Structure 1
Amino acid sequence: MQSNDPAIWRKNLPWPDANTHKHTRGRLGVVSGRATQTGAARLAARAGLRIGAGLVRIFCPPEAAAAIAPSIEAIMLTPFSNAEALAREAEQMDAMVIGPAAGLDDLTVANVNAVALGGAALVIDADGLSVFKGRSDDLFAALDRDDVLTPHEGEFERLFPNLLEQGRETAALEAARRARAIVVLKGASTIIAAPDGRAVINTNGSPWLATAGSGDVLAGMIGGLLAQRMDSFDAACAAVWMHAEAADDFGPGLISEDLTEMLPKILKSLWKES
């Protein structure tokens, strides 16, 4: 399997020019959990903004707004009361991240289905995956080829029982085929697989990523690139590589909040080489 390398996707990274404004750089939405579960959405939203999305908006249950509002600045905030309202509010988004700390209940299922009705490319992570345990076909029916699933091995097993017994590479490719979407199978050597058979293995993984919230940051990074209309497979490959590079550059003491602040240096190096 080919190693993930900037040579694969660098030329497709979205860079602004003199005529670019925030709306042409793409609009990313992130769905938050309840009032005591808002940190994951804030991590994802900041990562999406930092990686270049021109406008980022957090969608949250009404009771979570007071918890989120004091901690954001450039990121916008929109409360929603039910799945139908979320679908309406998210209509103008180019990409959506849903799942981090969303909750393992039918409301999360309804919210995933609601955002899937729109035209936004989806990044589905964490609870947005686990909640479909035993009913993965319901999730797959809502997806299209622009969408990205980002499971670690536990979440992968819930969606694709026993598939990992075939080995990670085979499992990721078969999962992408079944889901008809991009699959990012996270781990020490993350595998990115597409339903058309493309696949790469990430070899710059960092042990410093073993910290709470790092997956939320990755979901936001992928979402930010999707919002800028980068091809979903390339976006996943680029985000995974930059995510690991950021962790390795920072080193000991890393917490997830640090990952986003390392991105400007990495983006600048890629921009100069493009």
Structure 2
Amino acid sequence: MAHGANSSLIPEGDWVSALPWPAADVHKHHRGRLGVVSGGPLSTGAARLAARAGLRVGAGLVKIFAPVDAAPVVAAACEAVMVADFNGAEALARLAEPFDAVVIGPAAGLSETTAQNLAALGRTGAALVVDADALTLFKGRAEELFDHLDRDDVLTPHEGEFERLFPGFLSQGRERAARLAAERAGAVVVLKGPATVIASPDGRYSVNDNGTPWLATAGSGDVLAGMIGGLAAQHMESFDAARAAVWMHADAGRRFGPGLIAEDLPDQIPAVLAGLWPG
């Protein structure tokens, strides 16, 4: 990442030393629990991409929370990723209560159901990664979204989603826009693009410098959301988790190269991690 005020270069920077490597006596529950909210029965792929990425990046237990009609579809396509069904926002919140982080938004649906689910998750102790539909849904009502967030939560908009939540900010440049947005939202903001900007509500920010055009493919952002969630579930500080995930996501894309589709990305993560592992 390039230097900015209070930013640092990576992969040699401070997020590398903060990566949550497992101790010899660790078990899966010590490695963190990540939940991912699925969309309806015809919209489960995004959640499965995010869940697999969260598992690959080291979360010890990953569970997809699926609406009742979608759960059989999800379960048929999962192995190590677990599945639980729910009916209504309060049932979702009860499922999520023991979890360390939850991803909501990928193919979740542009309906009030998604808004209700996000509000319920905001009342749990989980760090939220808010992506895709759970961002677009709040166009013109962004303060309602921000009311459900705290500084451990992460928003992951591309420029279109960013403009819907923070109209006019981009006219001040991507770096300043992301910093202002993080302050306004009271959460970490990941403004995605060829040079992704990661900003914290406390003023820290970094600009990623290893982006690759091979990531311009459907589902790539779902994988990134899962990676951020997987690191946050392991109690990596959210700003560091976002910086680490953005860099590793780009490195995974660069390693695969031409022909990359989103399904390829999670299986590149072990090689990326091996390159960072101090052991």
How high is the TM-score relative to the length of structure 2? Answer: 0.96
Using the alignment, how far apart are the partners of 2:8 and 2:156 within structure 1?
18
Q: Does 1:195 align with 2:205?
A: no
Q: Deviations over 1:113-161 (max 9, x none)?
A: 0111000000000001010111100111110000000000000011001
Match of 1:81 in 2: 87
In terms of fraction of residues, the more helix-rich structure is: 1
How large is the Cα RMSD of the aligned pairs?
0.9
Q: Deviations over 1:214-247 (max 9, x none)?
A: 0000000000000000000000000000000000
Q: Does 1:233 align with 2:236?
A: no
Aligned length: 273
Q: Deviations over 1:236-270 (max 9, x none)?
A: 00000000000001100000011111110110110
Q: Note the 1:10-89 alignment, pairs <5 A.
A: 10-89=16-95
1:212 maps to which of 191, 211, 218: 218
Contact 2:97–2:124 (Cα < 8 Å) also in 1: yes
Match of 1:129 in 2: 135
Q: Secondary structure at the match of 2:179?
A: helix
Gaps of 5+ in 2: none
Match of 1:147 in 2: 153
Specify the code of the residue in structure 1 equivalent to 2:126.
Answer: A
Q: CA deviation at 1:54?
A: 0.3
Gaps of 5+ in 1: none
Using the alignment, how far apart are the partners of 2:16 and 2:96 within structure 1?
29
Q: What percentage of residue pairs aligned between the two structures are identical?
A: 65
Q: CA deviation at 1:4?
A: 4.7
More off after superposition, 260-269 vs 214-223: 260-269
Match of 1:5 in 2: 10
Using the alignment, how far apart are the partners of 1:18 and 1:187 within structure 2?
38
Q: CA deviation at 1:66?
A: 1.6
Contact 1:28–1:53 (Cα < 8 Å) also in 2: yes
Contact 1:30–1:45 (Cα < 8 Å) also in 2: yes
Using the alignment, how far apart are the partners of 1:272 and 1:169 within structure 2?
31
Q: Secondary structure at the match of 1:104?
A: coil
Q: Does 1:175 align with 2:181?
A: yes
Contact 1:4–1:203 (Cα < 8 Å) also in 2: no
Using the alignment, how far apart are the partners of 1:89 and 1:3 within structure 2?
37
Specify the code of the residue in structure 2 equivalent to 1:220.
Answer: G
Q: Secondary structure at the match of 1:5?
A: coil
Using the alignment, how far apart are the partners of 1:221 and 1:139 within structure 2?
22
Q: Secondary structure at the match of 1:73?
A: coil
Match of 1:93 in 2: 99
Q: Secondary structure at the match of 2:129?
A: strand
Q: Secondary structure at the match of 2:76?
A: helix
Q: Secondary structure at the match of 1:100?
A: coil
Using the alignment, how far apart are the partners of 1:259 and 1:53 within structure 2?
16
Q: CA deviation at 1:170?
A: 0.6
Q: CA deviation at 1:15?
A: 0.6
Using the alignment, how far apart are the partners of 1:165 and 1:18 within structure 2?
50
Contact 1:3–1:202 (Cα < 8 Å) also in 2: no
Using the alignment, how far apart are the partners of 1:169 and 1:69 within structure 2?
41
Match of 1:251 in 2: 257
> Moved runs in structure 1, 4+ residues, more than 3 A?
none
Q: CA deviation at 1:8?
A: 2.6
Contact 1:84–1:114 (Cα < 8 Å) also in 2: yes
Contact 2:8–2:14 (Cα < 8 Å) also in 1: no
Match of 1:105 in 2: 111
